[in-house]
Amino acid sequence: MTTVKCPTCSAPVEWGPQSPYRPFCSKRCKLIDLGGWLDGSHRIPGEELPDSQGEFGAPGLPDNDEAER
């Protein structure tokens, strides 16, 4: 049995009818190689970064100095 490397993830792929996506190991790797992930339908796990928290400290406190006059 001939084995080739998946061009996308370098996983070994058996070169035969049981590997319909050869030389890719899977449909996902084939789509990635074709640039299918560029349209946003495929996202790379771990790429998202939380940016909505930690930017600011405590919210501004109400200023009551004038109200007590």
If one asks whether residue 34 binds Zn ion (CB under 5 A), the answer comes out as no
- Residue of 3, 5, 11, 27 that binds Zn ion (CB under 5 A): 11
Residue 14 parent element (H or E): strand 12-14
Which residue stretches of 20-60 are H helix? 27-33
Per-residue contact track with Zn ion, 38 to 57, x per CB under 5 A? Answer: --------------------
Separation of alpha carbons 32 and 56, rounded Å: 38
Smallest separation, CB 46 to Zn ion (Å): 17
Tell me, rounded to whole angstroms, the distance of Cα 31 from its chain centroid.
14
The site for Zn ion (CB under 5 A) is made up of 6, 8-9, 11, 25, 29
